Chain A
Amino acid sequence: MRERRMPAEKSGPQDSVADMLREAEDRALVADRSDPHSPYHPGANATPGGRRRFMFGSLAVAGAVASLPGLARAKGSLGSEEHDVPADATKVPGYPLADESYGTRSQFETEVRVRFKTATPLSSWTFTPLQGSLGIVTPSGLHFERSHGGTAVIDPSKHNLFVHGMVRSPKKFSMKDIKRFPSMSRTMFIECSGNGLTEWSKPTMKTVQGTHGLTSTSEWTGVPLRTILEEAGVKPGAKWLLAEGGDAAAMTRSIPMEKALKDCFLAYGQNGEAIRPEQGYPLRLMVPGFEGNVHIKWLRRIEVSDAPFMTREETSKYTDLMPSGKAVQFSFEMEAKSVITSPSGEMTLDGPGFYEITGLAWSGRGAVRRVDVSADGGKTWRQAALQGPVMPICHTRFRLPWQWDGKEAILQSRCVDSTGYVQPTLGQVIAMRGLNGPIGSIYHLNAIQSWLVATDGKVSNVHYY
């Protein structure tokens, strides 16, 4: 089991946040580079396939070394069970099937969420390891986290959802009540509006986990919020609702009633089972396409009102300060964005030849219509293939075959969504919003990402626009 430690956040000025994140990532990379199963291990190929080839190679060596007992011991990873590794799995029985079990991943798989070590681990966040992501779904255990008062532990048999305020009949629903309503499922992304906040004024984080890891996709199952609101009967004049979590932060955000009735839902399921504790077990508000923090976890209360409540999170925190001194408030939608996940920062290409460029694209305003990829820093673009089905407000996997000639290249991806919005360059974003400090207006950075491929195959995070 690997330990990843990140430096403590100091109570310094805002510009030290980026430095501390970078230091934290550096420490994690030291461990990755010595891990033969990591895509960041020197000699590992940039593509998942290559990574596996290397892994098998290293296992063969391990088997030969341990030939006397015929067994080698692989280092168990987080979320796995450690088993003896035979030199030849066809010559010995495997481990027996348990009468009852909850499966684990392979002991050779080492990807983990990495937490930025804020001063307290109670208000903190962890990044999804996008560098090894396959397809569009994020494994539940790797879904990014952002919590403001730790992960609440809630017995669902004692959990209630209260609906009150401007409603005809206030309601108290048990989880059993909630699950009796007609259900729905939706595969969609949630992205923290702070995703990429270190990248405003200079390339800071080295890996795609650091630059883009605060977005994840799951299939969520629950009940439409409209159903719940209709059960209580919203009174005329109601324009907003407050959603409150049952955690130590009693996290609260105001949601426009129009959005609540349009497509919000209350999720109790994630990827085919109950929602994970860190994602809000037993109940989470889902607000498709809106910034992550409004997806209130451990949902315990909805208060209907004629005005927004102006909570701390929608005044002092998730607002976007412009150079004029004015801050944009209720900037809810997550706009079209994409990133190449492989090859990406800190990977090393194993010489000229074929590589699949692959990545993720998404938009909070609709479906991904097109993704273009450039290998020359945006001078020329080629349309990538999209993995179907392409769903609105959902991670969309793109792929493009590439023949690397061994010369310096700058890889970029550019997403166009179903509204026609084109993902901007960093220069366009800064020309529009300015830079009020080293991390600008912090939230909603959705610029095109550039990865430099050097002639030695090393991939790094650069700004090129």
Chain B
Amino acid sequence: MTISNVEKVEYWKWEESNWKNPDIPDCSGSLITAGVDIGSTSTQAVILADGELYAYSSIRTGSNSPNSAIDAMKWAMDGTGLSLEDLRYTVGTGYGRVNVPFADKSVTEISCHARGANMIYGPSLRTILDMGGQDCKAIHCDEVGRVTSFMMNDKCAAGTGRGMEVIANLLSVHVEDIGKMSFMIDEEPPPVSSVCVIFAKTEATNLMRAGWSKEKVLAAYCHAMALRVARLLERNGMEEDFAITGGIAKNIGVVRRIERILGVRALETEMDQQIAGALGGAMIAKELVEKKNAKKIS
């Protein structure tokens, strides 16, 4: 084998997915609204039929945001018989919200995540931690999912999904395995730098050289990440019930450590927490259509 034909494994690449609600075989005649969340690393498209979750997709954001939005929506529509023309109202959200070519309105990801998390976890939800690709946000909301306060940090990739991808590649561990592996240790190690992902990467390299196992280094990184976002949550005020959205919500290594630091238990769900923003967008789209219809009638 020569160097040129060695297969390069990209450990950071998480699995893209789509889903269609088996309980809604046909949505013809329904009010179809959609939300598209273009994040820095992932894009989600959600379709609602009369306010019920009908289909969604989650893909990696490419270099062209409008194309990512179209690709995500087309994949969500796969097997549904729907086309872009069937969307009554679409809300674009996320980092690239102004780049959704078929969106009727753009809404901040803060409002959309609160609204989506409210639908996923119910009206008792008050505190949301959205751990995105390149930032994290602590959000407070009321019983209808309206934001009452927020605090965001996007100063550095440490404490974000991108930071986790960097560590996955460095340690040659698939990003989806990090959480579980980070608990395969005898004792919780001290955290690595939580200030900068470049420092964290350097520190992790040095720890590997010093003989630490991959599991121990992952535990130290997850610990650091949890500490960083816990500080953000504490600053914005922590109120139960509490839930985590975004890609990192799938990493139990970080989630369990946040719970341990804050002494709370995050609400759990069968749904994909990564779609919260797009789901909120689709819900807001539905409300806007209903508001318009009500105005017409009056």
A, B assembled together: no
Which residue numbers of A lie inside 8 Å of B, CB to CB? none
Which residue numbers of B lie inside 8 Å of A, CB to CB? none
